[in-house]
Amino acid sequence: MMRRPLIPLLVLAAVAALAGCATRASAGGRLPIVAAFYPLQFVSERIGGDLVRVTNLTKPGAEPHDVELSPRQVAQISDAKLAVYLHGFQPAVDDAIKQNAKTRGYDVSAAVTLVKSSEGHGTDPHVWLDPIRLAAIADAVGQKLSDADPAHAADYRARAATLHRQLTELDGQFGAALADCPRRELVTSHTAFHYLADRYHLTQIGITGVDPEAEPSPRRLAEVAADARAHGTTTIFFETLVSPKVAETIAREVGAKTAVLDPLEGLTDPHADYFSVMRSNLAALTTALGCS
């Protein structure tokens, strides 16, 4: 009598297995995953390995804030076993997931605490620039992949643990290199680096706010120039996906040079990855801040 309930459970398990096989078949034997932009693609690929096929909804070199989705990308969201995104960062992605993958979407802000933007409304999305917060996201994505594909849960969890350890090691490298810098102020083209600055006890001075396309007022340019002079700033940072003209204007005004500090919203170098770009950022920071 007590064994009868096992029959429908076995049937349901068989149906679920068949559904999983069908999903994998459509992705060349791998679990189809969509990631909203590069750092989430990086995490998903590192944890999924050869068990997943990850599609990045933001094309390489494109600015992710205002991404628009094609019908093909909406279909990819519909077919995905898991859609990894950051709510509020890309409205088109939020809408598409809500309409086509509501039960299969994972908003990574659930794994971390976001802070308010410098403008005082909304939140700053650039949480991946803090390796410790990204490690928390990696743990959560590992669990979500395990839930989506229980047969390979041990693989996902093991790779998530490896990525967590690597990100912790990266945090240690940043902490050690930035501990004794005589300058602590970062002058950046837009305020994408709050989480990095907060983690390593630096002060960010943004020429514009979270929106990289915003144009600074003459008053704001004068304020930043005054701050740069007061702190003896030697480097004005700009980004790979944004014009350097404003940074160059400030640099000329205060007698500084310019350098790239990459917010990792999208890669332009096909041979780079999160770790290589973050280490390039660290090298740029130690030079600009005069670290020993």
**Tens of pLDDT, residues 50-64:** 999 999 999 988 889
Query: Domain check: are 150 and 60 in the same one?
Result: yes
Structural domain containing residue 186: 180-289
Range 255-266 average pLDDT: 94
Residue 10 lies in a domain: no
**pLDDT above 70 coverage of the chain, percent:** 88
**pLDDT on residue 243:** 81
- Domain boundary among the residues 106, 140, 174 is at 174
Query: Domain check: are 132 and 204 in the same one?
Result: no
- pLDDT band, very low/low/confident/very high, at 212 (cuts 50, 70, 90): low
Query: Domain check: are 49 and 167 in the same one?
Result: yes
Query: Domain check: are 195 and 236 in the same one?
Result: yes
H helices present in 49-177, as ranges = 71-79, 91-100, 131-148, 153-177
The CATH number assigned to the domain holding 50 equals 3.40.50.1980
**Tens of pLDDT, residues 11-57:** 333 333 444 444 554 456 899 999 999 999 999 999 999 999 999 99
- pLDDT band, very low/low/confident/very high, at 175 (cuts 50, 70, 90): very high
**pLDDT on residue 14:** 38
Residue 104 lies in a domain: yes
Query: Domain check: are 147 and 217 in the same one?
Result: no
Query: Domain check: are 161 and 24 in the same one?
Result: yes
Cβ distance 63 to 40 under 8 Å? no
- Which contacts (CB < 8 Å, 24+ apart) does range 104-108 have? 104/80, 104/148, 106/82, 106/140, 106/141, 106/144, 108/40, 108/84, 108/137, 108/140, 108/141
Query: Domain check: are 206 and 281 in the same one?
Result: yes
pTM of the predicted structure, to 2 decimals: 0.88
Query: Domain check: are 30 and 158 in the same one?
Result: yes
Residue 210 lies in a domain: yes
CB atoms near residue 67 (< 10 Å)? 19
Residue 15 lies in a domain: no
Query: Domain check: are 282 and 254 in the same one?
Result: yes
Q: How many domains does the chain have?
A: 2
